[in-house]
Structure 1
Amino acid sequence: MAASFAPRPTLDRSLGWFSLGLGVAELLAPKTVGRMIGVGDQSTMLRMCGMREIVSGVGLLSGRAPATFAMSRVVGDVMDLALLGASLRSPDANPTRVAAAATAVAGVAALDLYASKADLQSSLAEAPQDVPVTTSLTVNSPPEEVYQFWRKLENLPRFMTYLDSVRQVDERTSEWVARAPGGVKLQWRSEIVEDEPNRFISWRTCPGSEINHVGSVRFESAPNGRGTILRVEMYYGLPGGPMAARVGQLISNGPEAMVLEDLRRLKQLIETGEIATTRGQPSGARSLVGRAFSRGES
């Protein structure tokens, strides 16, 4: 029997009040909270955690950008578990109480993760198509070949890393499954609006989809017959709108950067038959938060 959860707005409000109450307690009575959870006197650390909880709580109760604040609680839960583990090295720690606190945090984390996934899916579906993405790249292959590769939609997950699968339903309709950070699964149905062989494809998501976007790709002959210029243009809904997109660009992970990386992988795939990868090569240690969120992206 499937688990039953409260409706999304009710769950967000409940988590908001919980976060606010916990934050006030950690901010005003850190020593008492420290004794209760078995970490001893960690007043500075607990006050910082309290401020974080208050910000998350106020954000959830405001009803604005719930996906952002729900995800901030997930990140906070991961940090709390790491801090509880680190506290065991202190001679003042009570291992029994720390273990009980960690169990409680893990339970709340599961609820926070559920809420963040539901909020993200809802926000993507409801966001207006006001985030533009335009980019281009030259592929050393004739337009006919590049078009044929793209038009076979089952090929798209081969170079679009966020896609799990694309299934062609009929000549113009297809079903897509993708994954977002944190392991959030997104599904939608897309419809081809225009299809000019070897020149142009445009599409839009169908009503009831979990994301909301329209887009097109042009296949233009490069000067002197040196391959194909791919021009991609999309407008899609993003929680937070253009402001969120600009923030993403500042950390080099904006929508245009992601699409350009997809096109670069397509270029490698068509020109060489494979995509260069660094998987399996040595790399530096990643943070606990980074390792936690990469699990949903592997």
Structure 2
Amino acid sequence: MGDEADFELRLKEVADKVTVALDQLIPPASGPEADLMRAMRHAALANGKRMRPFFLLETGAMFEAPEKTLLRTAAALECIHTYSLVHDDLPCMDNDDFRRGQPTVHKAFNEATAVLAGDGLLTLAFKILASSETHEDPAVRVMLIERLADAAGARGMVGGQMIDMLEEDSPRDLNTITRMQRLKTGALISYATEAAGIIGRARELERNALAGFSNDLGLAYQIADDLLDATGDETAVGKPLRTDEIAGKANFVTLLGVDGARQRVRLLAAQAKEHLAIFRNKADILLQSVDFVLDRTR
């Protein structure tokens, strides 16, 4: 119980640090762009677990990487993740009314403002990474930008969303769902550990271990999310649930069943932990993050 409480505390500490960083990076504005900045802040500063920044910061800590660099990179990553949520919630995508316990941006403002707020967060992410305040070495900054563009783009998160949209009116099999979620959800989680390895100058063996860890954990996280959508409490989660069921869309739970999905998460979690073995006790927090994902399935 002590480890669980310590982990929850650490998760909150990291989330708070990232929120403070975002508050500084997206300052209020006056004039014609005031509403746009308010919409960006509405999305970015809302309560969230900040799991992707958490993986980045905790992985970077294993390599004793500079916290300022890790935090700015984590903030850029959260800008990308948040922009994707703003756009996913739009009427032309998932048409959701609530996110992170508050009205979605297109509900709190309007649809056009939501599109532009997402655009603003997307472009801000790359401005943050391009700044010399993030890292003194231009080669490191370019690598962070290049890898984030891959993770967020057509061969990553956006590609996964496109597969999701294309498959709405046709049958989905497990391979299609797995590929879709490895791109849509897993790509940014993989970037979190990859970026930390770049900043911390990890060895090839360590980078490979982190890639294996994040691939397995990213998929486990999505299956846990599907389980939460199917069995969770809407008030506690802070967003509409059973959306796939209502839309008639297949996911891991509809294909595997609740018990089968839970079994798949346990297998992926075990594999994720095995990848961390080379780091020994330095990876304690990341190991606890695997247990956190498992807890979301119960």
Q: What TM-score does the superposition give when structure 1 sets the normalisation length?
A: 0.29
Structure with greater helix share of residues: 2
More strand by percentage = 1
Normalising by structure 2, we get a TM-score of 0.29
Work out which of the two has the higher radius of gyration on C-alpha atoms and give 1 or 2.
1
